Each structure stands twice: as structure tokens, then as C-alpha cells.
């Protein structure tokens, strides 16, 4: 995934400012963004065939643990459109986490990975000091596309490591009364994903059985007190601690919870994100996460100069995406919100 704004803003996030230190319930609405980079349509352009909603970063909150970017794309029919067509673009200082619910996407990167991803599988790309990649709907392809892309900020001690790519076809499932959770990243209730993480966190997709929490029992999702959490409904409707949620908003839950009580209609599914608050202050701009303005300026210049730091993506269907201009103004206010 790439930030496709023509003039992305520089956002300061992380650090010790303003983390919720108690349990809260904040509704953070998503917004429509563009996905394909060749057509550059408006978000509701019918050629795209796919809506993309971005939930992080938002004005209300920049991070949840080390999670700093959340896109939910589809569900939609991409049979008569370009589908996903993200031209080669660079990343530094983060991991990209891709999870599909329907369809197929081909990942190509500058360290030689060429990996289709299908529903139930995880693609994890660790950018480290620099990588470039493309994400494309393959040809031919299933008509439907539906998925999530998430970014995880790397801590300072890991971010200079070489770029890496992992594909996981088998992920552990945590069975609970009324629920089952596929653990994509990190640990949930003692069940740990094989995917490489660099800070204490969790990412899980939770299926809620029809009628969970009714009929005299409680569907309870265990959490850990030291993590902050957020929940994003993928499908259906879920009530959490008695409050109804749908797929239009990310709900930030804050800290200090040992669990949440759930009830559900038929076939609901949601994403759980959590982690220890990310104490380092970071700067996000376009597809880069750094620690200083100068570092971002340098990464941008090197990408646009075709420097070897970002390698080359072989076999992509579209030519590389140039970095947009940087804003001349000052940073947005610091802090987690
Ligand atoms: Mn990307």
C-alpha cells in the first residue's frame, strides 16, 4: 500500500504525549482514499471498483501500540477494473502487513520476492533501511477483492536492519467460547503468530459466532492490561461492552482492560489491534517513517534519484511512483493524537 495523496502531510506520532492511560471508548470514523496509482481516480471513481477506507492515521489518533496505518479495501468487484495496481514505491522504518478476505494480490519487491497472497495468508514486509515494492491484482484474477493493509512502526533499534519479506500460510487460531481468533502478529491470550515482530503487540482477526453472548453465556475476549487496543469491524455487527459497532469506524479502547464482552449477530468478524504504547517519537511522511525531517528529505531524494538504497522491483505492470513534493510548513503538533 502507498499513501496516494498528491501532497502528503508530515505527521509526528508516538512518544509519551497523551496516551490514554485508562479504558476509553473512542469512535474514529474512516475516510475514503484512492488505491490505484495509474488512474489516479477520485475515491468514488467507478473504474476503481473498490472503496478503500483509511482509519489510521486519523485526526483523532495516530497510533495504537506500534500500529500506525490501517486501510480496509473492498469488498468489491474488480473484474472489469484495474483492481489493485500499486506501482513500485519505497518504504523505510516500518513493516507492511497484508491480510485478504477475498481475492488475490501479487506482491513484488526489490529483494526478489514474488508472492501471491490469498485469503487466510499473511504477507509481512519489513522495510528496515529501505525496500521498494509493488502490489497488483494478478491477471487473470478472482472477481472479488477484500482485504486489509496495516503498517507497524519499527523501533529505533531495528530500523537499520536489512529489508525482509515473510509469507505465512498457516497462522495459529485461538478458540474461545463463541469466538475464534486468527493471530496474525504478536500474541493473544498465549497464542503467538510466527510472524516477526519488533515490539510487544497483537494483530488478530476475530470471528464471532452467530448469537455469541446470548443464550446465557458471555463471549469474552481476553486482553492484557499493559496494551492499548483498537477494534475495526470487517463484516457484520458486533456489540462490545454493550455498544454497537460497524465497519465505518475504528474504536479505540485505551489501556488497562483485562478483556471485553462481545455480542454478535450472524457472521461478524473484526480486527483487533493492540500493543504497548510506542514511546519513541516518529515522523511519518508519504511511505516513510523516520526520526528527523532531514532523514525523510534524504530518503525522498534518494528514491527520486533511483539510488540503490531502494533497489528495483522487477516485473511490475506499472512504472515507479515518484515521491510527491514535501510540505514547506512546520510539523503538525506532536504527540499521539
Ligand atoms: Mn507499500
For the residues of 105-128, what is the DSSP string, one character each?
EEEEETTS-EEEE-TT-EEEEE-T
Q: How close is the Cα of 89 to the center of ligand 1, in Å?
A: 6
Parallel/antiparallel/unpaired status of strands 201-208 and 268-275: antiparallel
CB 132 within 8 A of CB 163: no
Q: How close is the Cα of 208 to the center of ligand 1, in Å?
A: 30
CA dihedral sign, ordered 196, 228, 34, 138: positive
Q: How close is the Cα of 149 to the center of ligand 1, in Å?
A: 9
Q: How close is the Cα of 160 to the center of ligand 1, in Å?
A: 18
Q: How close is the Cα of 135 to the center of ligand 1, in Å?
A: 7
Q: Euclidean distance between the first and final Cα of the chain, in Å?
A: 23
Parallel/antiparallel/unpaired status of strands 228-235 and 219-222: unpaired
Q: How close is the Cα of 142 to the center of ligand 1, in Å?
A: 22
Q: How close is the Cα of 134 to the center of ligand 1, in Å?
A: 7
Residues in the chain: 337
Q: How close is the Cα of 252 to the center of ligand 1, in Å?
A: 25
CA dihedral sign, ordered 282, 286, 288, 294: negative
pLDDT of residue 12: 86
pLDDT of residue 37: 45
Task: Give the integer Cα–Cα distance in Å for 294 and 275.
Answer: 29
pLDDT of residue 9: 84
Q: How close is the Cα of 332 to the center of ligand 1, in Å?
A: 23
pLDDT of residue 41: 46
Q: How close is the Cα of 67 to the center of ligand 1, in Å?
A: 15
Q: Which residues of the chain have pLDDT under 70?
A: 16-19, 34-49, 215-217, 329-337
Q: How close is the Cα of 196 to the center of ligand 1, in Å?
A: 18
Distance from chain centroid for Cα 245: 19
Q: How close is the Cα of 97 to the center of ligand 1, in Å?
A: 10
Q: How close is the Cα of 55 to the center of ligand 1, in Å?
A: 16
Listed as own residue / partner, the contacts of 55-59 with beta carbons closer than 8 Å and 24 or more positions apart are 55/28, 55/30, 55/232, 55/249, 55/250, 56/28, 56/250, 57/11, 57/13, 57/284, 58/28, 58/29, 58/30, 58/31, 58/250
Distance from chain centroid for Cα 107: 15
pLDDT of residue 49: 55
> Strand, helix or coil at 287?
coil
Cell of 37: 496509482
Amino acid at each position: 500500500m502507498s499513501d496516494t495523496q498528491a501532497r502528503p502531510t508530515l505527521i509526528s506520532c508516538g512518544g509519551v504525549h497523551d496516551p490514554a492511560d485508562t479504558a476509553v471508548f473512542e469512535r474514529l470514523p474512516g475516510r475514503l482514499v484512492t488505491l490505484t496509482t495509474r488512474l489516479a481516480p477520485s475515491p468514488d471513481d467507478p473504474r476503481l471498483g473498490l472503496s478503500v477506507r483509511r482509519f489510521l492515521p486519523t485526526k483523532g489518533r495516530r497510533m495504537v501500540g506500534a500500529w500506525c496505518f490501517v486501510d480496509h479495501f473492498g469488498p468489491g468487484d474488480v473484474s472489469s477494473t484495474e483492481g489493485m495496481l500499486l506501482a513500485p514505491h519505497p518504504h523505510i522504518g516500518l513493516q507492511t502487513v497484508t491480510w485478504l478476505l477475498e481475492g488475490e494480490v501479487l506482491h513484488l519487491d526489490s529483494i526478489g520476492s514474488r508472492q501471491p497472497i490469498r485469503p487466510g495468508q499473511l504477507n509481512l514486509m519489513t522495510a528496515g533501511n529501505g525496500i521498494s515494492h509493488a502490489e497488483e491484482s494478478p491477471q487473470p484474477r478472482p472477481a472479488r477483492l477484500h482485504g486489509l493493509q496495516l503498517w507497524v512502526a519499527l523501533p529505533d533499534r531495528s530500523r537499520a536492519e536489512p529489508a525482509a519479506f515473510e509469507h505465512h500460510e498457516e497462522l495459529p487460531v485461538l478458540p474461545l467460547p463463541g469466538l475464534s481468533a486468527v493471530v496474525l502478529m504478536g500474541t493473544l491470550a498465549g497464542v503467538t503468530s510466527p510472524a516477526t515482530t519488533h515490539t510487544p503487540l497483537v494483530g488478530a482477526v476475530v470471528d464471532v459466532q452467530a448469537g455469541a453472548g446470548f443464550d446465557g453465556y458471555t463471549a469474552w475476549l481476553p486482553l492484557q492490561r499493559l496494551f492499548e487496543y483498537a477494534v475495526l469491524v470487517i463484516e457484520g455487527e458486533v456489540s462490545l461492552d454493550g455498544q454497537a459497532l460497524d465497519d465505518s469506524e475504528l474504536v479505540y479502547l485505551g489501556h488497562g482492560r483485562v478483556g471485553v464482552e462481545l455480542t454478535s449477530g450472524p457472521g461478524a468478524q473484526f480486527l483487533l489491534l493492540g500493543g504497548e504504547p510506542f514511546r519513541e517519537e516518529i515522523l511519518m511522511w508519504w511511505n516513510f517513517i523516520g526520526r528527523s525531517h532531514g532523514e525523510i528529505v534524504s530518503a525522498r531524494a534518494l528514491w527520486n534519484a533511483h539510488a540503490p538504497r531502494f533497489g528495483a522491483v522487477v516485473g511490475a505492470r506499472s512504472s515507479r511512483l515518484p515521491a510527491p513534493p514535501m510540505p514547506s510548513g512546520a510539523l503538525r503538533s506532536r504527540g499521539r493524537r
